[in-house]
């Protein structure tokens, strides 16, 4: 005969799901607030891009200094920094676009063909 004090498996599973959901809410990182104006968003784009190029250049220069391969480390570091900067800006723009979708009811701007 089944034990009457033991809860059914569905209750244990739903209880576990509830506990996991509560833990995820507690440990979820705080999402950054959207920029208050366009200039702050532009500064963030520029900062992401500039920082990536600067880090790439410094790493390339460091590689040149220790490996005695002037100027190839700097050239490669700048190139990789540029690519990383572009990827960061595209990622940031996509995240901003997903967080702030355009209004589908907004009036459209006519093309030259219209």
31-55 pLDDT tens trace: 666 667 788 889 999 999 999 999 9
Look at residue 11 in the predicted model and tell me its pLDDT.
Answer: 79
The low-confidence residues of the chain, meaning pLDDT below 70, are: 1-10, 29-35, 114
Give the burial string for 88-109 (b: 16+ CB within 10 Å, else e).
Answer: bbeebeeeeeeeeeeeeeeeee
pLDDT at 76: 96
Domain segments of the chain as ranges? 45-100
CA distance 7 to 16: 13
68 cis-preceded (ω within 30 degrees of 0): no
Supply the pLDDT for residue 57: 96
pLDDT score, position 99: 81
Task: Write the DSSP symbol of residue 37.
Answer: S
Verdict on whether the full-model pTM lies above 0.85: no
What 3-state DSSP class applies to 90?
helix
């Amino acid at each position: 005969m089944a034990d009457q004090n033991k809860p059914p498996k569905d209750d244990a599973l739903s209880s576990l799901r509830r506990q996991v959901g509560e833990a995820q809410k507690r440990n979820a990182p705080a999402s950054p607030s959207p920029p208050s104006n366009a200039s702050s968003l532009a500064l963030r784009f520029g900062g992401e891009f500039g920082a990536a190029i600067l880090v790439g250049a410094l790493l390339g220069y460091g590689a040149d200094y220790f490996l005695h391969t002037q100027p190839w480390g700097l050239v490669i570091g700048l190139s990789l920094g540029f690519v990383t900067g572009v990827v960061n800006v595209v990622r940031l723009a996509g995240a901003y676009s997903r967080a702030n979708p355009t209004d589908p009811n907004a009036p459209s701007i006519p093309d030259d063909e219209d």
